[in-house]
């Protein structure tokens, strides 16, 4: 989403920061809700710890994205490097979660 926004012509850093902040803040609500659901879920401690750890990278990535977008929206600096780093963290997180899902599916026995 952020990469798509960056392709708009003649968008200054402040406007880009505001739009990115709005989009990221909206999606961050869902990330926090999922994290809270994992933390309060009943079950064994060890699998739950792995689930919490899996969600922490997403929280970190979204936190970095919010930080950069807020600074840009307030005209406190050009934070494209932070946005790029946050995007990489989120891509690594998505790759890890996808891999875990694929291995879980592969381990299932056919019915």
Alpha carbons within 13 angstroms on the beta-carbon side of residue 46 total: 0
DSSP state of 86: H
pTM higher than 0.85 for the full model?
no
DSSP letters spanning 31-65: HHHHHHHHHH--S-HHHHHHHHHHHHHHHHHHHHH
What's residue 69's pLDDT? 95
Which residues have CB under 8 Å from 102's CB, separation 6+?
A: none
Residue closest to 65 by CA, chosen among 15, 28, 14: 28
Residue closest to 55 by CA, chosen among 27, 29, 36, 82: 36
Helix (H) or strand (E) holding 82: helix 80-107
| Number of other CB atoms surrounding residue 99 within 10 Å | 10
Output phi, psi for 8, to 5 deg. -65, 130
Over its length of 111 residues, how does the chain's per-residue pLDDT go in tens digits?
A: 777 777 777 888 898 899 999 999 999 999 899 888 888 877 666 677 777 788 889 999 999 999 999 999 999 998 999 999 999 999 999 999 899 889 989 998 776
What's residue 88's pLDDT? 94
């Amino acid at each position: 989403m952020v990469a798509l926004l960056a392709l708009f012509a003649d968008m200054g850093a402040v406007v880009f920061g505001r739009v990115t902040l709005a989009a990221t803040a909206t999606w961050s609500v869902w990330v926090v809700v999922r994290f809270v659901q994992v933390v309060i879920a009943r079950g064994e401690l060890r699998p739950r710890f792995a689930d919490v750890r899996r969600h922490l990278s997403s929280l970190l990535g979204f936190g970095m994205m919010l930080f950069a977008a807020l600074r840009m929206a307030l005209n406190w600096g050009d934070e494209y490097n932070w946005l790029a780093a946050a995007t990489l963290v989120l891509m690594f997180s998505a790759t890890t979660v996808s891999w875990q899902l694929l291995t879980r599916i592969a381990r299932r026995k056919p019915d």
